[in-house]
Structure 1
Amino acid sequence: MVTQKAAESELQPVPVPPDFGNNPHPFLASLRELGAAVPVVLPDGTPSWWITRYDAVDAALNDHARFSNEVHHAVGREEIKNSQALIRKDPMLRLVMINRDPPDHTRMRKLVVQAFNARAVDNLRPRLERLAESLFDGMSTEDEVELVERFAFPFPVGVICELLGIPHEDSNHFGGLVTQLVGAGKPEDALSAIRQLKDFMAAKLEEKRAAPGDDVLSGLVEAADEHNLLSEDELPAHALQLLTAGHETSIYLISGGMFRLLQHPDQLAALKKDPGLLAGAIDELLRFDPPPIPGVFRYATEDVEVDGVTVPKGSLVILCLASANRDSTKFEDPDRLDILRRQNPHLAFGNGIHYCLGARLARLEGTIALGGLLRRFPDIGLAVPPEEIRWRPLHFLQRLDRLPVRLR
């Protein structure tokens, strides 16, 4: 627990506790007490500044000029390790849309925004429902299953296949590589996964050149080859981000969301009684435990004052979405899961120009997955005590290692 007082003129850097990944919220609450901006030492020794309170996080998300996504703004880059080191070591990762600012970010986002609009996502619904039902059918004769392996992992991977036009038989291969990338404990392990993902994506792009279809990858090839809207290096980078971006976060939403519902039987009962509450339940689950833990990376392009504290130019800054979503100045009783919550302006999908492109699709995935599980398996329950369920930290994402459930 952090013991410094917010009134101190010079906050001392606070180390991230060892159990942060499994229970981040007490530490985040203590940081909010210290201030809206707090210096924090990451587990790998990297110095950083965490923005903790809702209004400050929201303001920073909307201020891409001073809080940049581009790593070249960082000073002391030799001190930035692990996932951030990968951006420097691998030139292609610097080119992905999420790591860029306007005008490049704007240009790249325009190329795929239509694939995630309301009409496009609605058109995907029947195929996603069939995919979910086939996975449910595979579980229907069993009394107990491990839900991450049997549903929460294969369903989002299948969704990516549908969206990008990748054969479903490739799903286990690239899904495993994505997990290796975001969960690698050592940079060299992640770099190995990146190299394999590059090779995989290069092969798929060549297939689309030879036989284009009505899918996102074919559209990107056309944008690069016929319209010069993507460079030769940007094309695989952009495709790779689309392959990986929504994969782990959707696994978390499904498995973590179900776990939280099973931990809160009153909320689960209300949802079973009225499936019409599902849309609000999805947003409340995202508020309660957003997949990016604690949040998203930025770099200060100048000295920035945040609620009376100066974040120095060149700092690695983490906008703590998970902390903002538990800020009592914005949410009533924020540590309580309440699927009937009326005012819920959560920041799980970010805000500003980097607002999650796949937010609509993620909500649809969550609706189909959680709604279908409760419909097909109304007696679903935990097969192990809750304290045995462990979170797996994945470079500022999280997911459950396992979620054993009984289905009847």
Structure 2
Amino acid sequence: MWLLTREADVRAALGDPRLTVDPSSVHTRPVHDGFSLPEPLHDNLLTRDGAGHQRLRRFAAAAFSARRAETMRHRIRSVTAQLTAGLAARPSADLITDFAIPLPLTVTADLLGVPSAHRPALAEWTAAMVTHSRHSQLDTAVHHVLDLITRLIALRRRKPGSDLLSAWVTAHDTHRQITEDELVSLAFQIWWAGIENVTHAIGHGALHLLTHPHHADTLRGDPRLLPAAVEEVLRHTAPTATAAPRFARTDLTFAGARIGAGDTVLLSLTSAHRDPAVRPDPHRSLPAPASKAHLAFGRGPHHCLGAALARVQLQTALGHLLHLPGLALLPDRPVRYRNSLRLHGFDELPVALDSAGA
């Protein structure tokens, strides 16, 4: 296994055709933090390259345009306002399970058209997936969610709606552009990635505001800086620590190193974002950076489809948290980080609130 840490190398590797994300090319089972995915989930956007990846991406891409993200902004604001009102009425909370998970969970459930009757159980399983500490818990939650998605696809065949999953099912049954397993895997991937990555980004943004009150004051004074501040949160904290693993198609030389065919190559986004060759003061976080030149959403063929929707959620979430009365870290309960190779996130972010001032 090789680890790339310099920004130039990571940026180049993300688009290097000599490296593939397809584990079948080196006879490796797809994994997520050491957990092997069930068979129906193997054919997804993060395990395919070339024509197969382009076919899946074209099928899914129309649902994740910047225009769709903007049309959902009002709903995102409404959900965020409800969640922050609930927080404001309590003396303390876990900002992950009480805010950072429910927001993207609701948005993604709306997007996929998950019926309200299924959402409580789905919320419980999703929380176990996002903050899991044991693979046995993850295994159970993944199979529950996979089973529900399979049943929802069958439901939308009988009774289609106006949601994304209905559109995908109709397109699949009409044109047969993708296989049934690819349809299931795509819906599952949108569910998990759409919630997990946004959850950890919200957590990091909240923690940064709580530990840098002068930045929070700057943003309150000029809310126009919030979109740029979100980009800096993504750069400075890198909720995704490493990109999806790559595998060498053949023997090759990269950045002066001889990499053998089939070797695993990991790309450290956390290190690339703090490369002093690119940023003279990489560990200093600013409330408003100059550009979106970070790699938090990837680059090239595998650039995140949901980037626009994620940005809307992050801007809305942090904008509401800035005005939550008395929000502060609980001094007697430490922040608990998730034990993960790929994701830089939290199991728990305990906070105090001024419920009397709500």
TM-score (ref. length: structure 2):
0.92
Q: Which residue of 1 aligns with 2:202?
A: 254
- Indicate conservation of the 8 Å contact 1:157/1:171, yes or no: no
CA distance in 2, matches of 1:217, 1:150: 26
- Indicate conservation of the 8 Å contact 1:82/1:187, yes or no: no
Q: Which residue of 2 aligns with 1:215?
A: 163
- Indicate conservation of the 8 Å contact 2:41/2:181, yes or no: no
Describe how 1:289-300 pairs up with structure 2 within 5 A.
Answer: 289-300=237-248
Q: Does 1:227 align with 2:175?
A: yes
Q: Does 1:196 align with 2:144?
A: yes
Distance 1:366 1:168, change over 3 A: farther
Describe how 1:341-380 pairs up with structure 2 within 5 A.
Answer: 341-375=289-323, 377-380=324-327
CA distance in 1, matches of 2:213, 2:272: 26
- Indicate conservation of the 8 Å contact 2:18/2:248, yes or no: yes
Cα offset for 1:230? 1.6
Cα offset for 1:403? 1.7
SS across alignment from 1:398: coil
Q: Deviations over 1:276-318 (max 9, x none)?
A: 1101110000001111123331111112322211122101111
CA distance in 2, matches of 1:232, 1:313: 32
Q: Which residue of 2 aligns with 1:49?
A: 2
Distance 1:128 1:85, change over 3 A: closer
SS across alignment from 1:233: helix
Q: Which residue of 1 aligns with 2:349?
A: 403
SS across alignment from 2:348: coil
Structure scoring higher RCO (CA < 8 A, sep ≥ 6) equals 2
Q: Does 1:272 align with 2:215?
A: no
Cα offset for 1:82? 6.9
Q: Does 1:86 align with 2:29?
A: no
Q: Deviations over 1:257-285 (max 9, x none)?
A: 10012111221221122111101110000
SS across alignment from 1:111: helix
Q: Deviations over 1:81-102 (max 9, x none)?
A: 8745615xx3222211221112
SS across alignment from 1:271: helix
CA distance in 2, matches of 1:300, 1:183: 31
Q: Which residue of 2 aligns with 1:393?
A: 339
Residue from 56, 65, 73 that aligns with 2:25? 73
SS across alignment from 1:99: coil
CA distance in 2, matches of 1:129, 1:275: 15
Residue type of the alignment partner of 2:159: A
Q: Which residue of 2 aligns with 1:313?
A: 261
CA distance in 2, matches of 1:190, 1:401: 13
Cα offset for 1:328? 1.1
Residue type of the alignment partner of 1:406: A
Cα offset for 1:365? 0.5
CA distance in 2, matches of 1:165, 1:332: 46
Q: Which residue of 1 aligns with 2:113?
A: 165
SS across alignment from 2:175: coil
- Indicate conservation of the 8 Å contact 2:269/2:296, yes or no: yes
Describe how 1:33-44 pairs up with structure 2 within 5 A.
Answer: none
CA distance in 2, matches of 1:289, 1:365: 17
Q: Which residue of 2 aligns with 1:283?
A: 231
Cα offset for 1:143? 3.1
Describe how 1:238-249 pairs up with structure 2 within 5 A.
Answer: 238-249=186-197
TM-score (ref. length: structure 1):
0.81
Superposed CA RMSD in Å reads 2.2
SS across alignment from 2:253: strand
Describe how 1:40-189 pairs up with structure 2 within 5 A.
Answer: 48-63=1-16, 65-74=17-26, 77=28, 83=33, 86-87=36-37, 90-181=38-129, 189=137
Q: Deviations over 1:113-157 (max 9, x none)?
A: 121111111111111111111112222322332211221111110
Q: Deviations over 1:27-84 (max 9, x none)?
A: xxxxxxxxxxxxxxxxxxxxx2111110110111012x21111112336x49x98745
Residue type of the alignment partner of 1:383: L
Q: Which residue of 1 aligns with 2:287?
A: 339
Cα offset for 1:356? 0.6
State the number of aligned residues: 354
